[in-house]
A and B are shown apart, each in its own frame.
Chain A
Amino acid sequence: MHNYTIAELIKGLQNKEFSSVELTQHFLDRISQLNDNYNAVITITGEQALTAAALADKRLASGDAPAMCGVPILHKDIFCTDGVRTSCGSKMLDNFVPPYNATVVENFARDGAVMLGKTNMDEFAMGSSNETSFYGPVKNPWATDSVPGGSSGGSAAAIAARLAPGATATDTGGSIRQPAALCGISGLKPTYGRVSRWGMIAFASSLDQAGPMARTAEDCAIMLNCMASFDEKDSTSVEQSVPDYTASLGNSVKGLKIGIPKEYFSEGLHPGTELAVREALAELEAQGAELVDISLPSSDLSVPAYYVIAPAEASANLSRFDGVKYGYRCENPKDLQDMYCRSRSEGFGEEVQRRILIGTYCLSAGYYDAYYGKAQQVRQLIQQDFSEAFKSVDLIMGPTCPSPAFKFGAKGDDPVAMYLEDIYTIATNLAGLPGMSVPCGMVEEKPVGLQIIGNYFDEARMLNVAHQFQQITDWHHQAPEAV
């Protein structure tokens, strides 16, 4: 059953081939047998899952089953779950049990999905390798000496290892697409505002966006149908109707114009990754799509702009963790200042503290204009690049990341080397555009991701093209040997 896609599981449940309780138990068994190899799941909600599955079976029997009724999934541990620890991968929230659900979690519950547990992640979603988690790194199921990517590395590894057919994830600078690429699965970061951020622990509020991860584009479409909604509790949620993302999956790609940015194929790109991506593009061309050379001239400014804007917003967002109302408080504080400072220094890991310091620096008097103001202007340059490109093409494609999964510790102590891992993904967050990664080849026995960037709210077209690509290739069906 663990090799079925979500679409196949839905059919199997509806045709009574298996019950949701059987399916849920099967995945819970797999998690208990295999998770120690990967450290992808950090909280297992077995009892709660079986109760939800039994309820789903009743709804299925009554013929009144919502879209994802009885399908087991995992939630990234950044989404608040009522009565279930939500740690955000941090010691700071190791003891935090929220009294409410995030809207995304509510949406899945409404549609009958069964939560199996919560997935590991880089602390506060700050990382591209899952090495910053308080709960230890996640291992890539394709090569356990290598990283799964980050920050949604737990969700990606869990799907690759068939511990769940789908999982929620978030993306601030590439945190859905990069781990999806490195773990050989599909992942979609929707347009900013498409999915509610309410109850999702904030990292950089103008960049954060939640999205689905699954093995196939079709499954991502099914999950996005459930996740996307207007939410009055999120003031940046966009009041726009949600299409049925599965309805257009079958459309032909004939005549589609795909922009190929020259900046995404420059120095630093692994030759094997480039070859796999170019072969994928040739497959689409053979199906009738037209490849168009384009330029996104401000691409090289996206990483520097991001590493001003994201830490600046993070330094403000993370000021709420002060040891007063929830989360970690240090032992025996001698006064209030001591409590604030020690709770934060003991509760936050090294990378989180580094980003808070950078953000505070960029926002401090005398530096605001030179850094934060400048970065916000550059953000407009990047946005203009994309809007110019979308005048002549329907979608933009290129590699998701410069190389396949690297080994633990390979980026060493140099934060900048790690930051460059997101060189192809960050620009879409700055512009608020949707981006997706689908598996398109293998290099050194590790997966490669093809990135698909769409115009605002054009997720249906991206999913359509990704699905069509998956009809003519089988990279998305390949599994790590140990699975």
Chain B
Amino acid sequence: MTIEREEIKKLATLSRLAIDEKTIADVTGRLSSVLALVDQLQNADTESLQEISRPFHTSQRLRNDEVKETDQRDAFQAIAPQTHNGLFSVPKMIE
């Protein structure tokens, strides 16, 4: 399976990556070679098999709804790129 330039652009948008025109051709070639590798999966007979998303069967552990951690907002905001009045600051999103 090969991948087209337009698809790369769409994937970049979905992935929130800014890929310039110059590198698209390069990325297209390399992704196509990886996809050729993973296409080998199509030959596997998996008809009767279930999909497994964990290495072995485990059920999700639940915990009691108790407050255990103290507020660490200041510690986390101290490492943020930009904050304002205790909030995380980002560029304007609505005109």
Q: Which residues of A contact B (CB under 8 A)?
A: 95-99, 192-193, 206-207, 232, 235-236, 238-239, 298, 300-301, 303-305, 307-308, 315, 319, 322-329, 333-342, 344-345, 348, 353-354, 356-358, 360-362, 364, 370-371, 373-381, 383, 413-416, 419, 429-433, 456
The answer to whether A338 touches B91, judged by C-beta atoms less than 8 angstroms apart, is yes
Q: Which residues of B contact A (CB under 8 A)?
A: 3, 7-8, 11-12, 14-19, 27, 30-31, 33-42, 44, 46, 49-56, 58, 60-61, 63, 72, 75-76, 78-82, 88, 90-93
Q: Per DSSP, are chain B's interface residues mostly helix, strand or loop, or mixed? A: loop
The answer to whether A232 touches B37, judged by C-beta atoms less than 8 angstroms apart, is no
Residues of A within 8 A of B51 (CB): 373, 376-377, 379-380
Given A341-B18, A373-B51, A193 contacting B58 (CB threshold 8 A): yes
The answer to whether A325 touches B76, judged by C-beta atoms less than 8 angstroms apart, is yes
The answer to whether A371 touches B33, judged by C-beta atoms less than 8 angstroms apart, is no
Specify the chain B residue showing the minimal Cβ separation from A345.
B18
Residues of B within 8 A of A356 (CB): 15, 17
Given A322-B16, A324-B88, A379-B52, A304 contacting B79 (CB threshold 8 A): no
Given A193-B58, A456-B56, A307 contacting B50 (CB threshold 8 A): no
CB distance from B62 to the nearest CB of A (A): 9
Q: How far is the CA of A30 from the CA of B22 in the complex (A)?
A: 45
The answer to whether B34 touches A99, judged by C-beta atoms less than 8 angstroms apart, is no
Given A326-B79, A376-B51, A378-B46, A304 contacting B37 (CB threshold 8 A): yes
CB distance from A80 to the nearest CB of B (A): 11
CB distance from B72 to the nearest CB of A (A): 6
The answer to whether A354 touches B31, judged by C-beta atoms less than 8 angstroms apart, is yes
The answer to whether B76 touches A301, judged by C-beta atoms less than 8 angstroms apart, is no
Q: How far is the CA of A353 from the CA of B40 in the complex (A)?
A: 23
The answer to whether A357 touches B17, judged by C-beta atoms less than 8 angstroms apart, is yes
The answer to whether A336 touches B44, judged by C-beta atoms less than 8 angstroms apart, is no
CB distance from B88 to the nearest CB of A (A): 6
Given contacts A354-B30, A415-B30, 16 further A-B contacts (CB under 8 A): A99-B78, A206-B54, A307-B37, A329-B81, A337-B16, A340-B16, A353-B15, A356-B15, A357-B15, A374-B42, A374-B46, A379-B52, A416-B37, A432-B56, A433-B55, A456-B56
Q: Per DSSP, are chain A's interface residues mostly helix, strand or loop, or mixed? A: helix
Residues of B within 8 A of A337 (CB): 16
The answer to whether B76 touches A334, judged by C-beta atoms less than 8 angstroms apart, is no
Residues of B within 8 A of A95 (CB): 79
Q: List 10 A-B contacts (CB under 8 A).
A: A301-B44, A323-B81, A326-B81, A345-B18, A374-B46, A375-B41, A377-B49, A415-B30, A415-B34, A419-B34
Given A99-B72, A235-B61, A378 contacting B44 (CB threshold 8 A): yes
Q: How far is the CA of A192 from the CA of B52 in the complex (A)?
A: 14
Residues of A within 8 A of B15 (CB): 315, 344, 353, 356-357, 360
Which of these, A304, A336, A360, contacts B93 with CB under 8 Å?
A336
Residues of B within 8 A of A304 (CB): 37-41
Which of these, A375, A376, A416, contacts B34 with CB under 8 Å?
A416
